[in-house]
Amino acid sequence: MIDRREDRVLKAFTGLEGGIVASGSTCGVVTGGALGLALMHDNVLQERGIAAEAGVLSLIGEYFRWFEESFGSSFCRERSGVDFYTTFGQLRYFLPGDRVGKCLWHLRGAMRHLYTYQEKDLPGMDMKAKEIQGEPIHCAQAVLRGIKDRTGIGDPLLERLSFIFDGGVGLQGGVCGALAGAVMGINLLLGMNIRDTKYFQTLKAFVVGHINLLLDKPIGEPEPFGVGKNIVQRFREEAGATECRTITEKEFSDWTDFQKHISSSDKCTGLIELATTEASNAIQRLI
């Protein structure tokens, strides 16, 4: 739908499958769709900054709500009804095929719906920069920048578009942006370059990754799921949850409301630092 290939950003999204390293949080079809909407409007984002960010977040929120209304939930754990961190859960997902088939059906429906967004105007463009005091804070972006400063691993486009995770993806209370930033940062190094990977290599990586979810000591070389599950576990231990709405105990009405919260929340600041440190340490052990 857009005349560009952003394979490095796509690589960073490897770990978002299954609701963030298969942990059951926000569905990868939702986070992937959010990224697609941001890419559709990247030129406007670069030209208009804050006003365009608010508009894109509004579109993402609309897409998020459509997904929940159409498919019942935006959380992988609720839609699939399985726990990928158990052997039974993985077997039930693939056999006899109804669960994985449903996900493919939802993917098809989401893509058909996203296709219509090419004709939509970007809302919120009347917003003025003076409505917010100081530089905006984006939790995923803050983590990605911290990882780059500490490890040298980063991507400017991914950083710029990572505001889509504000307030739990389009301000809807899904997966915390700090956690998403940590997982994406790791996958800039470990993620799959899916367009240039042969089918059987992709299949092998998929199988090994899901086996590693079940093991205390992952097999093979370091890969997204074996490394990422430790980040998710550490984050959940500290935050008590992986979703923004549970962590903050808030529902954000708009872009400005979120900025007021994130700029004054010691808890969010602490989780950004935690996510940055855990991801950076994991990367430094690998490079």
- For residue 174, the 8-state DSSP code is -
pLDDT at 127: 60
What pLDDT is attached to residue 182? 98
- Identify which of 97, 93, 81, 76 has the alpha carbon closest to the alpha carbon of residue 210: 93
CB 228 within 8 A of CB 21: yes
Q: What is the CA radius of gyration of the chain?
A: 18
| Residue 256: Cβ-neighbour burial (10 angstroms; 0-12, 13-18, 19+) | middle
What was the pLDDT predicted at 139? 97
Cβ–Cβ < 8 Å for 199, 161: no
Q: Are 187 and 181 in contact (CB under 8 A)?
A: no
pLDDT score, position 144: 98
User: What pLDDT is attached to residue 92?
Assistant: 96
What was the pLDDT predicted at 224? 96
Quick check: pTM over 0.75? yes
Q: What is the pLDDT of residue 10?
A: 94
Predicted confidence pLDDT, tens digits, the chain (287 residues): 888 889 999 999 999 999 999 999 999 999 999 999 999 999 999 998 888 999 999 999 999 999 999 999 999 999 999 999 999 999 999 999 999 999 999 999 999 999 999 888 888 666 654 555 568 999 999 999 999 999 999 999 999 999 999 999 999 999 999 999 999 999 999 999 988 899 999 999 999 999 999 999 999 999 999 999 999 999 999 999 999 999 999 999 999 999 999 999 999 999 999 999 999 999 999 99
- Side chain identity at residue 244, one-letter code: C
Exposure pattern of 31-41 as b/e (b: 16+ CB <10 Å)?
A: bbbbbbbbbbb
